[in-house]
Every structure is written in C-alpha cells, then in structure tokens.
Chain A
Amino acid sequence: VTSHVPVDEALLRSAVPRTIAILVRRGADFAAAEDAVQDALVEALRTWDADPPRDPQAWLVTVGWRRFLDATRSHDARRRREERVEEEPAPGPALDHDDSLQLYFLCAHPSLTPSAAVALTLRAVGGLTTRQIAAAHLVPEATMAQRISRAKRTIAAVPLGEPGDVATVLRTLYLVFNEGYSGDVDLAAEAIRLTRRLAASVDHPEVAGLLALMLLTHARRAARTDAAGRLVPLADQDRSLWDTTAIAEGVDVLQAALARDRLGEFQAQAAIAALHADAPTSEETDWVQVVEWYDELTALTDNPVARLGRALAVGHADGPRAGLAALAQLDETLPRHTAAAAYLHERAGDLPLAARLYAEAALRAPSLPERDHLTRQAARLNAALRG
C-alpha cells in the first residue's frame, strides 16, 4: 500500500520562479528557461501524486534543466548544448529572495500590454499552467500560449535583473486581483499570495497598501453574493460573513504602511476599505472620514472610479442631495455613473426617477451580475410604486 499524498500545488507553484532564476543563472535565456520549467511543472502535476520527490525544488531544477537541454538540442544548437553538458551546470552565485523579485519586474515590464503582463506573471511568477490561465480567462489554451510566447518575445532583450518600477508590478497584481475567479483557479487569492511574497522582499508602503487593500476587499467576498449568486451591495451585506482574520491583518498591514507617511493610491484605497470593514452597519460607517480619504485618493490619481466613489460617500456623509451635486460635476458617460445616480435619487426619495435610472444603468452594466442586480433594483422600485 502506497501512501497517497496529493501534490501540494501551492508549494510546487512557489518553487517555479526560483527554478526559472536558477536555470537563467546556469546560462539559459529567460524565454527558454520559463518554457522548460513550465514543462517540468506540468510533469510534476502529472506524476507527483504517485511518486512525490523528496526535494521538490531540486526535482524541478533537474527536470527543468533536462527539458531545457532537450529543447536546445531540438533547436539545432547541438554544439552549444554539448558544451553546456560537459561543463555540468555551475551552481551560479548564491540564491536569495531577489531572484523572484527580478521575475516580478521582468513579467510586468512596461513594454508589455497589461493583459500580456498578467498572463506572464501568472505563469512565471505564479507557477500556474497555461491551461489554468486560459481557463481563468475563458480563452482557448492555444490562444493563451501564444499570448505568453509573444510577451516573452517582447521582453527578449530585457536582461533578468534590470531594475524595474515597483508601480508596474503593483498595477499588474491589482489587475490579477480584479479578475476574480473562473475556471479552477482563484485569481484573487493568487494575487494575494503573490503580493504577500512581494511585500516580503520589497520594503515599499504601496506594496503594503496593495496587500492591505486586497486583504480587506477579499475579506468581504463571502458576503458579496448570496446563496443564489446574486450581488449583494455593501449596505445590505451580512457583515457577520466578513473574514475578521483577513480584516485584522489588512488593518495591521495598512497601519504600518501609513505610519511611514508616504501615502499612495493603494494605501488610500485600503484606508477606505478599512473604514468599511470597521463599521458594524452602513449607517455607522465613518462616512466623513471616507470622504476625506476619497479626497486624498482623487488628489493622487485622476481615476474616475474614485470620483464616483467619492460622490456616493458624500451622499452618505452630507445627504443624497449633496451626493447628487457631487455627481453632477462628473462626466455622465463614466462607467456606473447612472447606477450611482439611481442609488442617490432613491435615497433622496425620488423613486420613479430612481427606477428609470436603474433600468437605464442595467442596459449599460459591464458585467452580468451587475446588470441583473440593477434590473432587480428597478423591478423592486417599480413594484413598490405600483403599490
């Protein structure tokens, strides 16, 4: 009887970026090393259940290097390959946590489009398979494979280790987080895992700010949809479903970041999330402070979503009329502008107008859950108006 130990996928995945870095240090270029490690990863997922290795990291390096040599051989580079084999790979300089950090920078390189950066980060840093990434994006595996190899060609001339801007990495991780989950991979949880690891190697208040924002937002997930899968707005959420452990960690991470007095966009957003997380009900939320943080946020960024959020917060802090006045300052074509107007008009007591705006907002909703939610809001008000 063999003991059946399922593959520890998280452990396996976390070994991927380091394995790539080791292969690069042995002389492989990034694109080839990344392909080889992906092959090794797929093999690990296939064989480890039956035959788990004693040292997963060493196994990945051995198999990845073999795959790299196979690929090099088939690429008509026999001489170079033989030289490498004769040399027997040099161990390279001592490895440290900066190896994965360099991969974060490379995979979020500014020459990449956001979707290319996301795909490459998920594979090379996150250790996901192409199939998993494709399933999460609802595209064919071949399409995702092409997207990733194009991304690698785009950055072919960029050496691993070139200093990068942490802001581009944060933007990429934030995009991953907002992709939510479909398929068998929870990209929000994956983004938190990657940001947590980044925060362990980079001392930057915005990295902490993003981690806090993710934790505080993710903490509300169980309450954000009901049993039937319907979207539940913040004000109506069952707050006992919020993950208090994640909230506590998020608040701690945020407090430590804010104490350094280098405010940034993610810290400001996390502060707003923290104020919501802190309130027992929507009414008891410190809306005045929420508005103050939105002021900070809109001063830091021209993000229209933030201005819309501010108008809604003003609607709570100073009343729906004030909120509508703030909303009137904004471009009406902004996404979710109509939905915000509907919400504020309902609070102001103009139910017929609110019902009409909800119905209009439903037609413009960018996602299925939002459209259904807005349609239900319109139907609810219309039913109430019919008496």
Chain B
Amino acid sequence: MSRTAGRLRPRDERGQNGPHPTEEIDVKYLLLKHYRGPKTSTNDVPMDQWAPDEVDAHIQYMDDFANRLRETGEFVTGEALAPDGMWVRYDGEGKPPAVDGPFAETKDLIAGWMVIDVEDQDRAVELAGELSAAPGAGGRPLGEWLEVRPFLEHHSGGHHG
C-alpha cells in the first residue's frame, strides 16, 4: 500500500524562495604548460636567450604563484617534466614492451602542470591568466598559452538516481 500517494499534494501557499543548491563546488583544474605547443606566446623568446636575472625573475614568479595558492587553500600539486621522454607500448605476450624515442618531432610538448582546486571556472581562468603573465624576456609578461582542463569528478553527486 502506498505510503505517499495522494498525501503529498502540492500546497497552495508557498514559502519564501529557498536557497539555490549548487551542484558542484571545489572543481579541480589542470593548468598545462608546454615547451612547444600549437599556440605561440606573445613574448616568444626562447628561455635560453633571456638575461640571467630575467630567468631568475621568472622562476621566482612561478614559486610565488604556487605559494600564494597554498595560502589561499587552492593548491593541489605542481610538477615539471623533462622534455626528453619515450613512447612505450605492449608488444605481445612474452615480449618486452616496444620502446620508441626520444620523441623529437612532437608538436605538442608538455613542460609541466599545476593542479588547482577552485570555486569555479572563472577562478581557474583568472589564475591561468596570472600564471601566463609570468615575466619573460625583457621582464615583459610571457603571454604563454596555458591549457586549462577540468577534472572529471570521482563521484556523480548524492542526488542523482
């Protein structure tokens, strides 16, 4: 026998507008830096051509940026990658994996990443913009294109299904 049918009819009187439940908060984003990529920086001078103090200023800026995100409670992790790597794949039962590399011809070469945990996409874009403003040659902003990718959530939220 139904517990609810006929007993949950909508009421005429309404309460005030309630809160507006947001679905997800704390979205994680990956900010990807590239050694080489499909898009060119506005200040496109290779780092080995910079003055030494410009290199120092750049590194300091990156460190400060990460520390600031630690302070704001938005930092998850950050890593840099060596440019040299190799391609590896399974090569059949009982055989060692096939190895190819180092990959010299890659158009898209990832240099490193930072993972941030932020309130929303606007904040991720804001931070990527700041990171891209790191000083380069002549102390001018690098204007490097950063790839910003949201993480998939690990769970689908308590209210679905």
On A, residues with C-beta under 8 Å from B are 113-116, 118-119, 137-140, 142-148, 150, 167-168, 170-171, 174-175, 177-182, 188, 205-206, 213-214, 217-218, 220-221, 224, 231-234, 237, 248, 251, 254-255, 258, 261-266, 269, 271, 274-275, 277-278, 286, 289, 292-293, 295-296, 299-303, 305, 335, 365-371
Contacts and interface: CB of A to CB of B under 8 A. Distances in A.
Nearest to B77: A140
21 contacts: A137-B117, A143-B74, A143-B75, A150-B73, A177-B159, A178-B159, A180-B158, A213-B159, A218-B158, A258-B11, A263-B15, A265-B17, A269-B159, A275-B5, A278-B5, A295-B10, A296-B10, A303-B21, A335-B23, A366-B24, A366-B150
A138 B160 CA distance: 21
A232 B119 CA distance: 29
B157 A180 contact: yes
Given A274-B8, A278-B2, A137 B156 contact: no
Given A143-B117, A146-B72, A224-B161, A262 B152 contact: no
A367 B25 CA distance: 13
**Top 5 A-B residue pairs of the complex, sorted by shortest distance between their CB atoms:** A147-B73, A265-B18, A367-B153, A171-B19, A180-B155
A274 B156 contact: no
A299 B13 CA distance: 12
Nearest to B159: A217
Interface string B1-29: 01111011111011111111111111010
B71 interface: yes
Given A146-B71, A205-B15, A368 B119 contact: no
Interface string B128-141: 00000000000000
A114 B154 contact: no
A293 B75 contact: no
Interface of B: 2-5, 7-11, 13-26, 28, 70-77, 117, 119, 150, 152-161
Contacts of B23: 178, 305, 335
A178 B157 contact: yes
A262 B8 contact: no
A366 B152 contact: yes
A251 B21 contact: no
Contact of B154 (A139, A148, A368): A368
Given A146-B71, A278-B4, 8 more contacts: A167-B19, A178-B158, A231-B161, A248-B3, A258-B8, A262-B13, A293-B10, A366-B150
Contacts of B74: 143, 147
Contacts of A116: 73
Contacts of A119: 73
Nearest to A303: B20
A20 B68 CA distance: 30
Grouping DSSP codes into helix (H, G, I), strand (E, B) and loop, the B interface class, with mixed when no group exceeds half, is loop
Contact of B4 (A182, A274, A300): A274
Nearest to A187: B158
A168 B19 contact: yes
Nearest to A284: B2
Contacts of A262: 13, 15
Given A140-B77, A180-B157, A365 B20 contact: no
Given A174-B21, A180-B158, A369-B156, A115 B26 contact: yes
B87 to A, nearest CB: 25
Nearest to A150: B73
Contacts of B7: 255
A278 B73 contact: no
A167 B18 contact: yes
Contacts of A263: 10-11, 13-15
A362 to B, nearest CB: 11
B21 A234 contact: no
B8 A271 contact: yes
A182 B154 contact: yes
A206 B15 contact: yes
A221 B159 CA distance: 10
Given A180-B158, A255-B7, A368-B154, A114 B73 contact: no
A369 B10 contact: no
Contact of B14 (A137, A266, A277, A299): A299
A294 B77 CA distance: 42
Contact of B21 (A148, A265, A371): A265
B20 A302 contact: yes
Contact of A367 (B3, B70, B77, B156): B156
Contacts of A205: 15
A287 to B, nearest CB: 12
Given A114-B119, A143-B75, A262-B15, A367 B22 contact: no
